[in-house]
Amino acid sequence: MKSFSLLSLVFAVSASFATQAAQQDEQHRVGAQLFGGSASYKSSDQDGDGVTHVYAYYNYQYDSTWALEAGINTGMEADDWKCRDDNDDKFTCTRNDKALFEIGANELDYDNLVLAVKGQYQLTDNNYLYGKVGAHYYDYEIGYKGKTMAEEDGVSFLAEAGWQYDWDNGLSVNAAIQYMDMGDLDASSLGVGISYRF
């Protein structure tokens, strides 16, 4: 019921903005972001529960403030690597494969389909602060050496806030902080991205 309410809210808000849409030359934006952060499963919190994910998206800009966004995200656990300098300037790197979430897992994969509303506030001609809230369908699997220990899918919410710089040629860069709720799994991440508007 909570999931249906979130989706209804996103659609209602985007429909209300559509009626106020102003015709602009550059209403479309495509982009990608790379995130790294931490995750918790059933409120576990320990060192080594790192995650990384890549998010690709499309924005439709209704007016100078509001946009509707659709995106796809894919993520996984982020293992630490330790490298040491051997003789003759050769490096040896080993993977620090710590157990995840206090359950002994060492693998995490997740995918998300996102629908969100994005609002932005112009600071200067090319600088913006933005916020994003939306719903997403998630699907994740936690395992150990290929054996599934936990899996879940469903609909929940995400939120993102950040800074964006737009050049006049259509290219943009951004930095953001993002929170994704995936039922028993939560992820908080910092990211950077690049986009193009047309």
Tell which residue, 140, 179, 182, 186, has the closest CA to residue 159.
Answer: 179
Domains, the chain, ordered by start = 2-197 (2.40.160.20)
Q: What is the pLDDT of residues 172-186, one digit of tens each?
A: 999 999 999 999 999
pTM: 0.79
Q: What is the pLDDT of residues 84-119, one digit of tens each?
A: 777 667 777 666 666 777 787 888 999 999 999 999
